[in-house]
């Protein structure tokens, strides 16, 4: 099952200055970064159980992936091997739905790989994306225009939730022309329980456009 939304292609990719904002926010610590790479403002903590997750946190399980979307027919032959953002990672900016005092949380993930993050146990919005380029110890960040604010719901008794695979369709100009949230919960929950055991089963809480929850 997929929640799909197509976005009109803008003429230009708007580049926003984010260095000042980044200095005022903090990065969530990932439970797993499957590539084993981390910049100097992130940390890779491999956990085998929930003992290190705080009482006010929930484990968020999901994925963000890319599919090439070639728009210009006359460029198709040249872009058959087009792989957007090869050898890059992605930084997702999240903020609490209410009561966040303007603070954001950045989570650094690998394209096309499951992620497991300990985040505040509250409903959150995915507001922005950035491409992470460069060497392991010195990443550079480039804004990636994100056409929709996405949102996922958290209950007060949640210990782990699955928010879906956020699939982005990217054209040859590095623009997101469409997106969808794909429900891969069967395989995701099975992989989760192989890693963490069967005592906890993530509740499925797929992210969707913010307007969907109004």
In the prediction, which pLDDT does 31 show?
A: 47
In the prediction, which pLDDT does 78 show?
A: 52
Give alpha helix (H) positions in the chain: 19-22, 185-196
**Nearest-angstrom CA–CA distance, 141 and 160:** 29
Instruction: For residue 71, give the nearest of 141, 1, 155, 176 by alpha carbon.
Output: 176
In the prediction, which pLDDT does 25 show?
A: 40
Asked if the model's pLDDT at residue 30 lies above 60, the reply is no
Residue 84's contacts (CB-CB under 8 Å, 6 or more residues apart) are: 66, 68, 170, 174
171 falls in which pLDDT band (50, 70, 90)? Answer: confident
- 136 and 128 in contact (C-beta within 8 Å)? no
**Nearest-angstrom CA–CA distance, 111 and 65:** 5
Two structure tokens written together for 66: 């890319």
22 falls in which pLDDT band (50, 70, 90)? Answer: very low
In the prediction, which pLDDT does 164 show?
A: 98
3-class secondary structure, 200: coil
88 falls in which pLDDT band (50, 70, 90)? Answer: very high
**Nearest-angstrom CA–CA distance, 199 and 207:** 24
Asked if the model's pLDDT at residue 42 lies above 80, the reply is no
Higher local confidence (pLDDT), 24 or 125: 125
**Which residue's entry shows tokens 């949640």?**
158
Mean pLDDT of 104-129: 93
Instruction: For residue 26, give the nearest of 98, 101, 90, 103 by alpha carbon.
Output: 103
98 falls in which pLDDT band (50, 70, 90)? Answer: confident
pTM for the structure as a whole: 0.76
In the prediction, which pLDDT does 35 show?
A: 35
In the prediction, which pLDDT does 136 show?
A: 65
Mean pLDDT of 97-122: 86
């Amino acid at each position: 099952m997929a929640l799909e939304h197509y976005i009109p292609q803008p003429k230009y990719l708007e580049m926003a200055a984010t260095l000042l904002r980044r200095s005022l926010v903090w990065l969530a610590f990932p439970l797993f970064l499957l590539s084993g790479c981390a910049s100097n403002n992130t940390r890779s903590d491999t956990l085998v159980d929930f003992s290190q997750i705080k009482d006010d946190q929930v484990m968020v399980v999901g994925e963000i992936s890319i599919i090439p979307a070639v728009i210009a027919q006359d460029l198709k032959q040249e872009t058959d091997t087009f792989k957007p953002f090869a050898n890059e990672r992605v930084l997702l900016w999240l903020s609490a739905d209410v009561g966040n005092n303007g603070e954001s949380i950045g989570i650094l993930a690998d394209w096309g790989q499951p992620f497991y993050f300990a985040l505040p146990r509250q409903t959150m919005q995915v507001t922005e994306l950035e491409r992470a380029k460069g060497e392991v110890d010195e990443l550079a960040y480039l804004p990636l225009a994100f056409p929709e604010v996405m949102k996922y719901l958290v209950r007060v008794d949640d210990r782990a939730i699955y928010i879906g695979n956020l699939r982005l369709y990217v054209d040859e100009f590095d623009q997101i022309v469409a997106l969808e949230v794909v429900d891969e919960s069967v395989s995701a929950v099975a992989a989760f329980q192989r890693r963490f055991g069967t005592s906890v089963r993530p509740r499925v809480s797929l992210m969707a456009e913010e307007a969907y929850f109004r």
